[in-house]
Amino acid sequence: DKWGVWGRYEIQKDEVRVWAAQAWQDVCFQLRVLPSNRIFHYDNGDRGVWTTMALEKHMASGTGDFREHSSDLVHFEIPENRYFRFLRDRRI
């Protein structure tokens, strides 16, 4: 796919960080996996309760340096109450 970009991800407990490199900049997303039954008050039964992610940070850097004091780090505004839901795929 000519529009695809290479990236990597890291998972630590309930936090997911995704990095992708483009020719002109690198981007980073930080997401948090949420316990759906406690926060949204719905239960998926046998499908699990960790079925929602919240986007917490969206950042860009021309040098790929995502440390807080980086000179070219840009933080983008994240709308509140925007979530991703996992949907069960019966093929898996």
pLDDT tens digits in sequence order for the chain, 92 residues long: 577 788 999 999 989 999 998 888 999 999 988 876 566 655 555 455 667 888 999 999 999 888 888 889 999 999 887 787 776 666 76
pLDDT of 8 reads: 92
DSSP character at residue 47: G
pLDDT of 27 reads: 94
pLDDT of 89 reads: 65
pTM: 0.71
3-state class (DSSP) for residue 21: strand
3-state class (DSSP) for residue 58: strand
Type of residue at 91: R
pLDDT of 49 reads: 63
